């Protein structure tokens, strides 16, 4: 039962953090492309690489920490459904270049960020 509670708590904090970062970024750097979502997805991808190495290779933690951090917090912090909706919204509006740029940047940066997080954490 503790694992489910830890996922719920992590998810609540992750969702609030995503909402705050996305809103702040949209107000600070207005754009037709949803860079706030891109930012949380890249940062979340980087962090999941770090957390993965720390929890599976470096630090022995209670069983509930991994699902709390990875599934709960980072799962709620990053968002594939919003990425999908924003990509489709650009396509439906005929903004094919924006859609292509957003999809390409998201995939390349998120996968690179995860790789970087894993590599840096394993190095140190």
Q: Residues annotated as binding site?
A: 75, 78
What's the distance, Cα to Cα, between the start and end of the chain in Å?
A: 34
Q: Residues at the annotated binding site for Na(+)?
A: 75, 78
In whole angstroms, give the CA distance from residue 79 to residue 8: 16
Q: What share of the chain is helix, strand, coil (3-state, %, to 5)?
A: 85, 0, 15
**55 close to 117: Cβ distance less than 8 angstroms:** no
């Amino acid at each position: 039962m503790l694992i489910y509670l830890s996922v719920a708590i992590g998810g609540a904090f992750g969702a609030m953090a995503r909402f705050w970062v996305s809103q702040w970024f949209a107000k600070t750097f207005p754009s037709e492309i949803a860079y706030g979502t891109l930012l949380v997805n890249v940062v979340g991808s980087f962090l999941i690489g770090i957390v993965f190495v720390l929890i599976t290779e470096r630090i022995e933690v209670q069983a509930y920490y991994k699902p709390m951090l990875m599934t709960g917090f980072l799962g709620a912090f990053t968002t594939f459904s919003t990425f999908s909706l924003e990509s489709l919204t650009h396509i439906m509006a005929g903004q094919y270049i924006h859609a292509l740029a957003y999809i390409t940047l998201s995939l390349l940066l998120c996968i690179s960020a995860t790789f970087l997080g894993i590599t840096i954490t394993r190095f140190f």
